[in-house]
Homo-oligomer: A and B are copies of this chain.
């Protein structure tokens, strides 16, 4: 039966990934930033950390980048028939812990009623991001 198989949605070439997957009553997304970069353009510092992943077409504030990342996330969920209202668990990664307070202000607007459980950690990204998001949604068919 169809419900005994996972269903994969979307892709992000050249990366070998799906954007979302449904398995039973759950939908899980890829970790996403606010855009797709060409991996060949990446520059690293002498510790192997990303300095740049290609020219950004515009300078974004942190708030703009957060909103753009939520847009990419919502698009991924939509491929699987879900919205942010279905999210139960949200993983957040920041490049700079000082963005935590502004993150919380913006984040609260996306989850006003049923607030997902969450983790927030500082990390080093593969790309020139300030934030990445990855969620689990629960939506029985």
Contact = CB atoms under 8 A, between A and B. Distances in A.
Interface of A: 4, 6, 8, 11, 14-21, 23-26, 28-31, 39-40, 42, 44, 48-50, 88-89, 91, 93, 95-98, 100-101, 104, 107-108, 111, 114-126, 132, 134, 136, 138, 140
**Assembly stoichiometry (copies):** 3
A40 B44 CA distance: 33
Contacts of A123: 121-124
A121 B93 contact: yes
A124 B122 contact: yes
A16 B112 CA distance: 8
A119 B88 contact: no
Given A48-B122, A121-B123, A140-B4, A25 B28 contact: no
